[in-house]
Amino acid sequence: MGFNTARWRAATGIFVAIIAVVALAACGGEDAAPASKTEAPFIIAPTATTVVTEVTPAPVPTETPVPTPAPEPTQKPPVVTTQDHLGESKAQPMIDFPIEITKGSPILEDDQVLAHWADFIEGSRSFGFGGGLILEYCPGGEGTWVYELGSPNYTGAKFDYELKNDPGGSWNSVVVSYKFRDQVLFDLMNSTGGTGNRIAYQGIKAGEPSNFHEALTCGEAVASASSGESFTGEMVNNDSVVGATNYPEGHALAGQDPELTNTLSVEIEGTITSSHLGEGTVSGAVTIDLTGLYTGGCSAILEGTEGTISFTSEDGDVLNMVMTTNQLCGATGEFTGVYDIVDGTGKFASADGVLEAKSFPVQGEPSVNTLTGTIDY
């Protein structure tokens, strides 16, 4: 910035004028007062304020908004990860919507509407929200949450579904009532008081695309049933002895202790909290051979007998199992139970899998068992 000579001179003149006025005031006299009054407008120094306003082009640094191309990410398509799921879904043949329940068709009875929807939905894959949600409905009421944008925990999750008439919709609409098998996901999505959640589908006009394509993984789900879903939980038992037998005469332990028994018949009662049953109850029965325990080893299920145990989920479905191991080892104090899943009721009707229970029981107290294993249903 160059030196402004004219401005410097003006400032000098003002400075001299100020000195003169101060000198007059110091001398006093009547003639001094009018001089200060006439000179006063000169001394307000507007030039000084103009100098300040001229010098204040400081706002130039406001060019800093340059780094604000932040909106750019929102312009990028967020559905990149759905391309594979959506593409493979659309590659499957589209299923024609039943003409009997299209808009404008003669009104049918509720059971007829459900039958047409069942034929249409079973064995299909549907997608909505531009591919952000993809579901697959397999025969037998089993479904797969194939994909949900932004919700990796749901992707691939299994659920059970049931078709129902839609009381709040048109005559040709349907409600799919579904419940996740995983208890954590069920709790997150449960919005109907313990019965799961719902999706409603409406009838369309004849000739419109249905957006339902043939299923891709229903057959694979059956074929891969042996892989199993992870099962975890906790079982608290209050077992009661309902019968005992002493060692027979001639046995090495016979007569050593009058209270020494070789078998115990036990009834099992308790509670369970688990990934697939929620909060439920436990019941069962087993006869235990104690010989190994008394001789430094482990107890076992009495040969020729079979122990059974059942879990009842909070919604009333029952999981039935046969015990292959029920042992308490004296050296470690650890209990191990191995339960083969054989069948059940409700969603567990075709269940399969193996569970293991572990605990360190204390006499006279409920046994708290950790449950792990795999389950298919």
Q: Distance between CA 311 and CA 20 in Å, rounded?
A: 108
Confidence label for 193 from pLDDT (cuts 50, 70 and 90):
low
d(CA 134, CA 277): 26
Long-range residue pairs from 136-143, CB within 8 A, at least 24 positions apart, any chain: 136/215, 136/216, 136/217, 136/218, 137/161, 137/176, 137/215, 138/215, 138/217, 138/218, 138/221, 139/218, 142/218, 142/221, 143/178
| Alpha helix (H) residue ranges in the chain | 5-27, 32-43, 46-55, 72-75, 83-91, 110-121, 183-189, 218-223, 291-294
Half-sphere exposure of 133 (CA within 13 A, CB side): 3
Q: Which two tokens stand for residue 118?
A: 């069942």
User: What dihedral angle (degrees, nearest 10) is formed by the CA atoms of 256, 259, 263, 266?
Assistant: -160
pLDDT at site 171? 94
> What pLDDT, on the 0 to 100 scale, is given for residue 257?
65
pLDDT of residue 205: 93
Q: Tally helices (H) and strands (E) across the chain.
A: 9, 17
Is pLDDT of 122 > 50?
A: yes
Which range (49-53, 152-156, 348-352) has the least confidence? Answer: 49-53
For domain 228-376, the CATH superfamily is SO1590-like (2.40.350.10)
CB 262 within 8 A of CB 290: yes
Lowest mean pLDDT among 147-161, 221-235, 317-331: 221-235
Q: What is the mean pLDDT of the chain?
A: 76
Phi, psi of 275 (to 5 degrees): -65, -30
How confident is the model over 165-179, as pLDDT tens digits? 988 889 999 999 888
Q: Is the pTM of this model over 0.75?
A: no
Q: Of 67-71, 176-180, 231-235, 319-323, which range is least confident?
A: 67-71
N-to-C CA span, the chain: 84
Neighbours of 377 (CB within 10 A): 23
Angle, alpha carbons 347-179-88 (nearest 5°)? 100
**Rounded CA gap, 339 and 346, in Å?**
20
CA–CA distance, 358 with 51 (Å, rounded to integer): 88
Percent of the chain with pLDDT over 70: 69
pLDDT in tens, 77-102: 333 334 467 788 888 899 999 999 99
pLDDT of 264 above 90: no
Ranked by mean pLDDT, the top range of 27-36, 119-128, 256-265 is 119-128
The rounded distance, in Å, linking the Cα atoms of 13 and 8 is 9
